[in-house]
Amino acid sequence: MILSRGRRILASLLLCVLLLTTACATKAPNRFDQVQQESTKQKSGQSVAENATQGSQLNAFFPDGEDGYDRVYTQEKKGFSEANLKKDGKVVAQLAISDTTSLPGVASKYANSTKKIDGYPAVEQGKTQTSVLVGKYQVKVISKDPLFTASDRADWIEKFDLDDLAKLK
């Protein structure tokens, strides 16, 4: 009887020590925790500029679907509008217009551009993105299918109503 009572006390004591040590142990942050903290800090300092153009206004400058391509709007918010370009039901590219008022650093990447599309400074970003700076707006086409080439992206940028977009304030 005394032996079994001692075992219960010992078991209870060990359980308390185990719970106490695991509760006090701190988990070392992993790489995902660090990225989460950084992105949270970034978002808190970012905001859309008061005078940024509404996304619904930007929609008017997108090209219509043609030659078997369909344009499907996917996102619209202040300072930004985006559409998918589909062929045979498959997304082959994303089309986007963004107001650089909120992110003035974006416009600086066009300062030394030697390439032009329809008279506007253009840059290639990696192997899948082509964009132009039209006034304060960045017009971007991103390939989502390997068969949608840089030449295709440039052709679709030219289909945007760039001259009227340049007049938008």
Taking residue 153's Cβ as centre, other Cβ atoms within 10 Å add up to: 23
Per-residue DSSP letter, 60: G
What's the whole-number mean pLDDT along residues 8-17? Answer: 81
Q: At 30, is the pLDDT very low, low, confident or very high (cuts 50, 70, 90)?
A: low
The per-residue pLDDT for range 39-84, each reduced to its tens digit, is 555 444 456 777 788 888 999 999 998 889 999 999 999 999 999 9
The per-residue pLDDT for range 94-121, each reduced to its tens digit, is 999 999 988 878 888 998 899 999 999 9
Per-residue DSSP letter, 168: -
Kindly report the pTM of this predicted structure: 0.70
Residue carrying structure tokens 């089309």: 95
End-to-end CA distance of the chain: 89
Closest to 150 (Cα-Cα) out of 132, 168, 138: 132
